[in-house]
Amino acid sequence: MKRFWIPLIGLALFYLEPVFGMFSPLTIDGDYYYVVPRFLIMFLIFVSIFHNTKHAMLYGLFFGLLYDVFFIDIIGLYSFLYPALCVVAGYIVKNIERNLIVATIIALALTVVFEFVLYQFFSLIGLTSISIGAFLNMRLLPSMIANLLFLIVLGWAFRSVMVRRMFEQKKSLTLSRFYNQ
């Protein structure tokens, strides 16, 4: 059962994103601010940083394909971007210390890249017509604040699940080597 924690958390986050997305747009002083939760990609980045980049890529491909099919009807966009961001996260942390602050900064930075790539793609094909300034002020900034709050609340839990899973795998490998000798 322990091996299913990471996919189950990913599945729960996949279903929670649209629920939290229902609170958007927020109206403050007559201006609309769109909050887009990106819980799943941030979780996958944490998986890539603290557990295993290959597993994060596979989960990213699976959940990206699900996201493409259920939410945007453009097959391949999320199923390409999710694994690509996991690879970038894994590459970034190869030579630096893996701690919660570094992981949070990397997750937020890659989420900004993710949002900007989506904005550019949707602008290119004509699905959005908002200006870059409006995008930055009315969508990106509120979304990053909300996603930062999410990571502040649950980032340590993500890290502990990944670290515990990694130690369990190493322990089982060590025990299997010991018993096979």
Residue-wise pLDDT for 8-30, tens only, equals 999 999 999 989 888 878 888 88
More confident residue, 171 or 131: 131
Predicted pLDDT of residue 149? 92
Mean pLDDT of 151-158: 86
| pLDDT score of 180 | 58
Element (H, E) at 75: none
pLDDT at 179 over 60: no
In the predicted structure, residue 2 carries a pLDDT above the cut 70: no
What does each C-alpha distance from 57 to 22, 41, 100, 106, 114 come to in angstroms? Answer: 28, 11, 20, 16, 15
Confidence of residue 172 (pLDDT cuts 50, 70, 90): low
- pLDDT value at position 73? 77
What integer pLDDT is reported at residue 169 of this predicted model? 67
Q: Which helix (H) or strand (E) holds 31?
A: strand 31-33
pTM score of the predicted model: 0.86
| Mean pLDDT of the residues in the chain | 87
Percent of the chain whose predicted confidence (pLDDT) is above 70: 91
What pLDDT is attached to residue 158? 82
Of 174 and 33, the one with more pLDDT: 33
- Give the tokens for residue 64: 């990206």
Which has the closest alpha carbon to 42: 142, 117, 151? 151
pLDDT in tens, 87-128: 999 999 988 888 889 999 999 999 999 999 999 999 998 888
What are the residue ranges of helices labelled H in 126-140?
Answer: 132-135
Residue 156 confidence (pLDDT) above 60? yes
